[in-house]
Amino acid sequence: MENKEIKHLIISKRLIKINSLLVAIIISANILAIAINLITGLNNTVIIPFIVCSLISFVINRKQNLVIVIPLSLFFLIYFLLSYLQIGASPHWKDYLMSFFAFGITSFIVTSQPFEVKKIMKYITLIYVFTSWIFLFLDLENMLPGNKMGLGYLILPVILVCIYQLFYIKIKSSQKLYYFIIIVWYGYFMMKVGTRGAFLSIGLYIFLLFVITKKITINRIIIYLLGLGTLIFVYTNILPLLLVARNLLENLNIKSNFIEKSVLLIEGNNVFNGRDILYESAFNGFKESWFYGKGIGFFHDHYGTYIHNIFLQMLNESGVLLIIPFVFLILYCIFLLFLSKKIDQSFKLFICFIFSLAIPKLIVSSIYWKEQGFWILIIMIISFKMFKNYRFSKV
């Protein structure tokens, strides 16, 4: 362990800067993909940032920390092998396997290397500034619902970064103006296309920052209680509040996808938007094969859609064999955030950032095989546990 710590000390600042940029590119890959598509006209451009970043990382870091990347990649590939033995190479088995190579293994390679949190946040902001022009070329009004949902999640990283910079660290007035302009620009589009999952992520991130960055005092307990009371009030009066908000936004000529869809679902007594049926079908499949599941991609092949919940997807696809280590990982993540004294504050806040990007989205929608935030969270937690020299993040 001492040798590893010594090795970490001689890592150049230049290398850490490059690694930080690569992590920022991986996190921002979706908006970069749209920009590349608009410029070149190429399709499936989302894999380009992942391939480029992983190749650069592999070369400049000289295979460092592959002792984590290789076993972890093999761990998930074993589940694909088991599923292949069950259901063969079904269409979505192939799709998820390619997604794991593109989003999972590449995220492992890049994020297992030394980086600095402050630089990642800075680079994410710069990437979103230089790609902000893409929203001038998107037809948001006629965009398909699924594409709107994806666009809302795409905006999330820069929204969370700006919230952190504006409210939780001390910066110059000129810098606050810089982040304020950015959050206004992207906040406007978030209001137009953001979904319930996106706003849930923002709410979770604010809550985590509020809890973790401050000490518990009587005043803060009072604030917690007031916040709980506010949530109860909002929950019990959600429809009237949404209608008021819709009228206010209409006066500003803003049509919010989140509000419109929420009102429609509540009035139609369909808050889950059909997800409850998917959840029940997924759980029934798990009961039929509880130990190793029905096979990766089986549900999507059989029902024509994905499960919209990471826990039920894991149970259905791989049974308790996969859900147990994943739940343990999430519990350890929560332990690091709230109870551990061995983790530095900046790295803790970065875990909050990635956790808020990935987990709420995966609980209500999306497919974890295709989410780089999920894979980044996994490799960060495991690397922190295994290597003392993974504590290199600074603010």
pLDDT, mean of residues 328-338:
89
Structure token digits, residue 295 = 């096979």
Structure token digits, residue 298 = 């089986």
Percent above pLDDT 70 for the chain: 93
Distance from C-alpha of 70 to C-alpha of 177, rounded to nearest angstrom: 44
Report helix angle 345-364 to 117-130, nearest 10. 50
Give the model confidence (pLDDT) of 188-216 as tens digits.
Answer: 999 888 888 899 999 999 988 888 876 66
- Report the chain's C-alpha Rg in angstroms: 21
Contacts of 206 (CB under 8 A, 6+ apart): 163
With tokens 């973790």, the residue in question is 212
A 10 A CB-CB count for 154 gives 22
Give the model confidence (pLDDT) of 134-148 as tens digits.
Answer: 999 888 877 777 777
Residue 156 pLDDT exceeds 90: yes
pTM of the model: 0.91
Q: What is the sign, positive or negative, of the torsion defined by CA atoms of 74, 109, 104, 111?
A: positive
Residue 1 pLDDT exceeds 50: no
What is the pLDDT, as a whole number, of residue 294? 93
Q: Any idea what the Cα angle at residue 161 is, between residues 10 and 40, rounded to 5°?
A: 90
